[in-house]
Every structure is written in structure tokens, then in C-alpha cells.
Structure 1
Amino acid sequence: MIDVTATQGTQLRQQAAEPAHAPATRRGRLALLGPGLVLAAASVGAGDMVTSLAGAAGYGMALLWAILIGVVLKFSLTEAVGRLYLATGQTVIASLRSVGRWLPAAFFVFVLVIGLLYGAALSSVASLALATLFPALPLRPLAVAIALVSAAIVYVGRYALFERVMSAFILVKFLGMVVLAVAMLATTDDLPGLISTMRPRLPDGSVVTVLALIGGVGGTAGIASYSYWVRERGWQHQSWLPVMRADSAVSYAVTFLFVLCTTVVGTGLLYGTGDTISGNDGLAALADPLGADLGSAARVLFLATFFFVTLSALVGGFNALCYLLADSLRTLRGIPETDAGPHMAQNSRPFRAFLAYCAVAALAVTFLGQPVALVLTYAAVGSLILPVLSGTLLVLLNRKGIEPLHRNKITSNVLLSGAFVLFGVLAVVQLRETF
């Protein structure tokens, strides 16, 4: 006798395994965008704000060209990560072994090290924003609470909920910074002078700042994790390629506009004053003049925006790092790609074990202090992942086994080669300064 329930279950599993085709209409495709917003929310963090504000303090808007280069290069990397997944059904981590057998292990160790610093850096800065807004709040206990809440959001949320939360974060922080930038332009006493700082140039002694802007804007671990979020949405068929490209393009358009607004605010407040955003008093040194110029509401809006920027990057970063660590462990253990789901899902034991690792590390390192310095260090150290990623994508997406539709074209090869060189130079600079 045939077991009808078992037969139906088998049919459902077979249907679920079949790749769904993308909608044929542009409106239908745009309605499905989502992983790019997650990437923007996770990648536009305190590092972007701190580096862009520091650049604005010293050079006004003269270094926007560096930010634009960084955004274009990061887009090329993200698009290539998504394209590799659509071409092979494999994530970048799973594909690393075919480039070099040692690469998955090296990547695993590297992400473990990043996990030590990431949570402490961002939870410290988030607590600094709240403590600046509410001085009675204790700084370090607040950082501990923020780290635990962020880990809890990742722990309880399936991807659909996680995407909705991250989309709300990007909306709040984007609108907050746009309002501040518009208010700054509307009230400045010297609008022509502010706009004149936009003239592109490379000031003496600004090379390290330029490299930090290029490497810091748009995130690092989130780029490598983009394929996991694409997989969660079920984008597998080649018809999803235009959707994926539009999705990643929207992500970096939002990123550039956000950093542009941050640069406008920083230029209006800091350029030519000799003030900088550094040390534990950096936020107050920026928020207080902002309140004096635009009113107390602007001060509150800036600090609240800074807090949500950091919180969203912390939540998204925990999610991205745990996906990368779980996938790296799966690859090292030799578990087939067909069994990847149970070992990398957000409710899997490896994912949650690495989430606990990131949270505990955040609590331990938080007591080192110097939160802004930690973020600046993370922004530079995090860029070490990018030369490996860009080099790997250059190799994998130029192989003859890749279908011509997904294989690198001239533009992709130029951009990925540029990313490999620039981010490699940034890695060398960081290693020299650190050691």
C-alpha cells in the first residue's frame, strides 16, 4: 500500500529543490529586492561614519572620489560573489578549496580573529552614542547589554525576520542622516565655501586616509556573506542574475548616498575648525556643535542615527560572521555542499556556537576601552579579507567551466584586478603600521 503522506512529502521536497525563476517584469523583480538592503544595513556602520567624518574634518568633501572608488570596487566584489553562487550553487568559502587547499583554513582563522574584535568595537561605540545622549548611563555595562541584545536578535530570528529588521534599520539611519545633511546645507552660512571643498584632490599626507576610505566604506565580511542571503531568498536559477545585480546596485547606491550625507555633515561642522572625531569625547565634540547650529533636536537625531548605524552593523555582522565560520567549518570537515543547509542555517548548532563565540568575545574585549580607536582598527584590519576575496573571484570566474553568461567580462576583470591591487596595498600599509 502506498504511503500518500510520504509520497506528498517527497514531491514537496523535489519541488522545493527546483530553482524558482525570477519574475519577468521589472516591477516584479524590484519587489523582491532584499539581500542588498541587508548588506547595506550590515556594511554601513560606525567604520563608515568615523572614517568619512575624519576625512571631512581634514579635507572637506575633496575625498568623495575615493569613497566613490571604494563603492564601485565593493559593488564589483558583491556582484561577483552573487554571480559565482548563481553559476555554481556554491558559496565563496566552498569554492576556495579549488583555488588553494589551504585557503578555507586560512579564511576560518582570519574570521575567528575578526570575531574577537568586531562585537567589542561596535557595541562600545553604540554604547558611547547612548551614553553621550544619556550621560547617566554606565558605558561598559551598556556595551555588554547591546552586544547581548544584538546576539539575541540573530539567535531568535529566521532569515525572513532578520531581513525585515535590517530593512527597518537601513530606513531609520538613512532618513536620519539625510535629514541632517539637508538641514546642514539649508542653514550653513557659507554654502559656496562648503561646496567648493568638493573639488577632487589628493592632499599631501592623505594617502593612508584615502586607503582607509576606500577600504572602509561598504563593509568586508558582509560582501563574502552576500551569497548566504541570496541563497536564503532562493535565488538559484540564471534568471535571477539581473535581480541580483539590481539588488547589489541598490545596496551600494544607498551606501554612497549615506556616506555622502555624512561627509556633508562632517564638512559643515569640522572642516577648518581643527576638531576631529577621535577618542572617547569625539562624539560629543561633534554632537554638541551640531546641536548649537541646528538645535537640540539635531543633536538627538545625530546620536540616535549613530546608534542605529552601529547597532545594525553589529546585528548584521554577527549574522555574516557566523555564516562564514559555519561554512568554513563545514568545508574543512569535508561535508558535501548538498548537506550545507543543516550545517549553516541560522538555527544550526555550528551557527549558534559561533554566535556564542562572537558574543562572549565582545564581552571580554569590551573592557579594553577606546571604542572609536577599535572601530578604526577594525575598518583597516577587516580590509585584509578583500585581497583574498578579489583574487579568488578572479580565478574562479574566469574558468572555462563557468558558463559564458556568468563568466567575468572585461569590466569585471578590470574592477576585480583593481580591487586586488588596492586592497592588497591597504593590507600591507595596515601590517606595517601594526607591526
Structure 2
Amino acid sequence: MDKQANSSIWKKLLALVLAFGPGIFAIGYTIGTGSVTSMIVAGSTYGMQLLWVLLLSCIFSGLLMFAYGNYALVTGETALYAFKKHLKWGKLIAILIIVGISFGQWNSLMGILGISANIIYEIFLIYFPALVGYQYEVVLTIAIVIIVVFYRFLLIGKYAFFEKILVVFVSIMGLSFVISLFMVYPLPIEVAKGLVPSIPKVEGGQMMVAAFVGTTMAAATFLSRPLFVKGKGWTIKNLAQQKKDSIIAACLVFLISASVMAVACGALFHQGQPVTKVLDMVNTLEPVAGKFALTLFFFGTLSAGLSSIFPCLLIAPILVADYQSGELDTTSKQFKVITAVACLFALIVPVFGANPIEMQIVSQVFNVFVLPLVILGIILLINSKKLMREYKASIWLNIGLFAAFFFSCVISYNGVVALTDFF
């Protein structure tokens, strides 16, 4: 009887996790090694000072996921196809968005692959110390193996298959970071102070704020939402479910990201040990957190990286298909060629042996530049009586979206200033 009860509990838990909707892709896009890297660097360098940026970004992300999802369910149209069809200058806006987001996501992909390969190398090093003089060769080999395996997975090309793989990675990642938090945590007063808006008045502070928004309010998350909602088979009858899915995704992004920042703050900030390289995370976390917490944290970071490779490889063909017809054909030659080019692009950081953490943060900043266009486009679409009929945006949704638009403009300006200083 006990065995049956246990089996039933596990089945229910598995069904609950697998029942998660297109929001799982939102988490995959949002929390990758880019996000984890930004959170670790921020937590170890500034403590919890940037928690307010994370909270605002997650609230606005939830609103934008909801708005894009609703538009798709009511009209049956995807985002860029609708921009091209209904907006003045829509064709130009859509092309700018495709170029901007693909560039940002492919840059991200380089860093993600570099960090993931480095983490696996560090794990190998624990068991095979003789590899110590062969870091470049081993990291490059691991990176090639990872990207080839993921490309093979992409060729299977079914929405349900992508969703199941992402569910596994995201679940491992979330659990790893939240459990780590119980072992290493910041003081409650630091968390409270982090909710008061302020920008670190140090070199790189503005870049960090822009990177935070670039990784948490990722334009790719919202634009791909209509295609994933359609891929799930949802219709106008699923409006309530779509709303719930958006809220859960935004809450989970906040919980997981804040956990990462808090672990880095609790373990590294007070030791005065900011993180700049993947190796720093090993050397500084282990004495404070112990081997178990370190292993958990690394497992989480690796899962974050692997859960982001899929969405990053998918983004360019998704946007191109969205622009052309609003339908994604994962068996087409176009899909295979674009994803193959993305795979080769991803190998740039491992091939040249660049610092993947620096690359990640700079690439996250690039993501903020198309954000105002993406928000303005959906504001215009969901306020069209002709398109949305009785489902036109409410006053509260409009207030939230205009606040998100203003926030994104400020952050984009901030990003321009930060990149000018960087280069």
C-alpha cells in the first residue's frame, strides 16, 4: 500500500511538472548561464543592491508574456507577422527586431557554451587531475560534443520533445539553486535594502543594471510566446490558463534568479571576492559553502546553461518563420541551415579561448536595445478594437505596459552609456 501511495505521489508530481505550459520556454530563455553569471557577479560584487531591478524586470516580463500570449489566442496571429501586417513601418520594425534579437541571443550562446564546457572541465578535473595542462583542448572538445548533441536533438523537431527536455533541466536548476540558498544566505536587512532603487556607483555598475534587464526582460521570451502557445495547441478557450502560465513563469524566474544572487552575496560579497572567471566560482564558494553546496550550485549552473542552448538555437528560425507566415516548420531546410549556422557561431568563444563570463555580460547588454520596439509593438496591437474585439487591453494592463516601455527606454540609454565606456 505504501509503495502504491509513493508511486502515486511521484506520478502526480511528474504530471504537475510536465503539465507546465509554454512558460517553461520563458524560463529556458530567461535563466541561462547569462542570467546566472549576471546574478553571481552582481551578488558577489554589489550584494543584494540590484534586487529591485530583478523584481521590476520580472513583473514587466509577466505582463509582456500575458499580453503576447493573449494576442496570439484571440487573433491566431504570431508577433512579427502581426507587426508586418498591421503596423505602419511594421516590416522595418520586424526586420530590426529579428537582427537585434538574433545577434543578442547568438552572442549569448557563445558565452553559454563556453561556461558550460568550462564547468564540465572543472568537474572532470576533480576526478582526472592529469587534465590540468590541457584546459583549452578539453574545453573545446566538450563544447563541440555538446553542440553536436543539441543539434541532433533539434532535428527531431517536435514541440512536446523540446518542452520535456527543458522541464528536466529547469527543474534540476531550480531545485539546485533553492537548496543552495538554505546553506548560504544573506542577512534579511540586505534583502530589504536591495528592494530600494539604487545603482552601484562604481565602474561597471551601469553595465550590470543593463545586463540584468537584458537577461530578465529578454525580448526573445515575449516574441516567441505566440509560437509556443500555438505549439501547445491552446486556443481562445485557454485564456485563463495562459494568464496563470505567465504569472507562474515570472514568479519562478524571480525566485530562481534571486536565489542565485543571494547565494553569491552570502558566500562571496562579505569575503570581498567578486567573481570575474568561471574558476573563481569554484575557488571562492567551496571554503564557505562546502563541497555539497558547491556541487549543487555547479549542477544548477550547468542545467541553466544546457536549458538555454535549445531556446537560443531556436530563436533565429522562430523569428524568421514568424515574420514569413507565423508557422514554424522544424523539418524545413531553412530551419536546419539557420540552426547549423548558430551552432558554428556558438563555438567562437571555446575556439578562441576567450573569457566566457565577460562575453556573457556584454551580450546581455545588447539584448536591451530592441526591447522598447518589442513593447511598443504589442501596446499598439492589443489596443486595436478591430483585432482584439472585446478582449482589448484593460486600463491596468496598459498602465503596466507603458511603465515597462518607459523602464526599457531608460535601461536602453543606460546600456548605450555602459557599452561606450566598455569599448
TM-score of the aligned structures, taking structure 2 as reference length: 0.85
Q: 1:81, 1:92 within 8 Å by CA — same for their partners in 2?
A: yes
Tell me, yes or no, if the aligned pair for 2:184 and 2:289 is still in contact at 8 Å: yes
**Map of 1:268 onto structure 2:** 266
CA–CA distance in 2 between the matches of 1:427 and 1:403? 30
- 2:154 is matched with 154
170-179 or 354-363, which moves further after superposition?
354-363
- Counterpart selection for 2:299 from 304, 308, 314: 304
Say if 1:384 and 1:427, in contact at 8 Å, map to a contact too.
yes
Equivalent of residue 93 in structure 1, options 80, 89, 94 = 80
SS in 1 for 2:198: coil
What residue is the counterpart of 1:243 in the other structure?
A: 241
Q: Could you list the per-position Cα deviations for residues 115-156 of structure 1 after superposition, in whole angstroms to 9, with x for gaps in the alignment?
A: 542322211111121122223362223222222222222222
**Counterpart selection for 1:128 from 118, 121, 124:** 118
Q: Is the 8 A contact 2:207 2:365 kept in 1?
A: no
Give the residue type in structure 2 aligned to 1:367: V
Q: Once the 2 structures are TM-superposed, how far is the Cα of residue 356 of structure 1 from its aligned partner?
A: 1.2
How many residues are treated as equivalent by the alignment?
389
| Residue aligning to 1:171 | 171
When the two chains are superposed, the root-mean-square deviation of aligned CA atoms in Å is: 2.5
Aligned letter for 2:96? A
Q: Which residue of 2 aligns with 1:358?
A: 342
- Deviation of 1:107 (Å): 2.5
Indicate if the aligned counterparts of 2:176 and 2:300 stay in contact, CA closer than 8 A. Answer: yes
Q: Which amino acid aligns with 1:156?
A: I
Which 4+ stretches in 1 moved above 4 angstroms? 28-32, 191-199
Q: Which amino acid aligns with 2:231?
A: E
Residue in 1 that maps onto 2:212: 213
TM-score (norm 1): 0.82
In structure 1, runs of 5+ residues without a counterpart are 1-27, 331-336
Match of residue 403 from structure 2: 418
What is the distance in 2 between the residues matched to 1:83 and 1:103?
Answer: 21
- In the alignment, structure 2 segments of 5+ residues that lack a partner are 1-14, 126-130
CA distance 1:231–1:193, change in 2 (3 Å)? closer
More helix by share: 2
Which stretch of the first structure deviates more once superposed, 40-49 or 305-314? 40-49
Deviation at 1:69, TM superposition (A): 0.2
* Distance change >3 Å, CA 131–CA 405, structure 1 → 2: farther
Q: CA deviation at 1:303?
A: 1.5
Letter of the 1:258 partner, please give it: I
Change (3 A) 1:209 1:294: closer
Q: State the one-letter code of the partner of 2:373.
A: V
Q: Percent identity?
A: 20
Tell which structure's C-alpha radius of gyration is larger: 1
Q: In the alignment, what sits opposite 2:279?
A: 284
What amino acid sits opposite 1:35 in the alignment?
Answer: P
For residue 346 of structure 1, the aligned residue among 317, 327, 330 is 330
Report the Cα distance in structure 2 between the residues aligned to 1:327 and 1:350, rounded to whole angstroms: 13
**3-state DSSP of counterpart to 2:363:** helix
After the TM superposition, which of the residue ranges 216-225 and 307-316 deviates more from structure 2?
216-225
Question: Which 10-residue stretch deviates more, 391-400 or 100-109?
Answer: 100-109
Query: Secondary structure of 1:34's partner?
Result: coil
Work out the CA distance in 2 between the residues paired with 1:203 and 1:434: 16
- Per the alignment, residue 196 of structure 2 pairs with 200
Which residue of structure 1 lines up, in the alignment, with residue 95 of structure 2?
105
1:147-188 CA-partner distances (Å, limit 9, x unpaired): 222222222241111111111111100010011001114xx8
Partners of 2:112 and 2:394 in 1: CA distance: 37
Q: CA shift at 1:289, angstroms?
A: 3.1
The residue identity in structure 1 corresponding to 2:250 is Y
Residues 286-344 of structure 1, C-alpha deviations (whole Å, 9 max, x = no match): 2233222232222222222111101111112212332112323x2xxxxxx4xx54xx2
Other-structure match for 2:251: 253
Give the match for residue 140 of structure 1.
140
